[in-house]
Amino acid sequence: MYPKDTAYDVAATTPAPSGLVLPSYKRDESSHPALDTEEYNSTHLRAPQQPLQVLPHYLTEVTGPLLGHDRVGETDHDLTAQHAGEPLGERIIVSGRVLDSDGKPVPNTLVEIWQANSAGRYEHSGDRHPAPLDPNFSGTGRCLTDSDGFYKFITIKPGAYPWRNHDNAWRPAHIHLSLFGQAFTQRLITQMYFPGDPLFYQDPIFNSVRDPKARERMISRFDLDTTVPEWALSYKFDIVLRGREATPFEDDEEDDD
């Protein structure tokens, strides 16, 4: 699992001291957000200030841990069924496929999500937004893609929330997604948004992806065909790992907003 904004080339990879050959890729700033974005204030503190140091990867980093079916619980994909009661808010279905640059499905990939509740609050000690917590909603889930690269979650549509980045700043409703390859060193993170959100124009995180077409790839699409009558609306969100149609991914340190 590596974003392929430029051609992935095994010959261009650097052998680790153990003799392992580790894939790498070049970061495409037009589709991926910059590490330090002027309008996104907290990136000024998070972005590296010194040259990056290459750390050696040995067998443990490359091959472990195992992220298989035994790591996923029966209700992990259904965020509305993880507590004694049902959570408040609009029930939705979020599904799609994880694909490579040539449209080939990526099977057995661990997909994790986390999000705010319907009132726009995370179940996290650092979230001080004066909105109610929902005792029946934790806001986290995970599943494995099937042989066709398909994943599916049942959840509650998250609410917008203020975040003090600038005057009257509000984050558009969004869901965080994390994808793992075969190890923790192969992790990609993105955010899924909802169509027609009026807060897009003033959100520096969404707009840190400079390419308008790339921003569109972060917006899910409503899908009536997979909407369940009288139960839940459905949104489709395909995740393309590499190539010109790649989904924009963020730096691991930016995943808490």
Residues with catalytic roles? 122, 161, 171, 174, 176
CB 171, CB 161: distance < 8 Å: yes
Cβ neighbour number for residue 202 with a 10 Å cutoff: 17
Identity of residue 150: F
How far is residue 135 from each of residues 78, 84, 118, 122, 153, measured CA to CA in Å? 16, 9, 12, 12, 19
SS3 content of the chain, % helix, strand, coil (to 5): 10, 25, 65
Parallel, antiparallel or unpaired: strands 161-162 and 14-15: unpaired
Residue 206 has what DSSP assignment?
Answer: G
Going by C-beta distance under 8 Å and a sequence separation of 6 or more, which residues neighbour residue 49? none
Q: For residue 104, how far is the Cα from the chain centroid?
A: 20
CB-based burial, 134-156: b 16+ in 10 Å, e otherwise: bebbbbbbbbbbeeebebbbbbb
Residue 206's φ and ψ, nearest 5 degrees, are: -60, -45
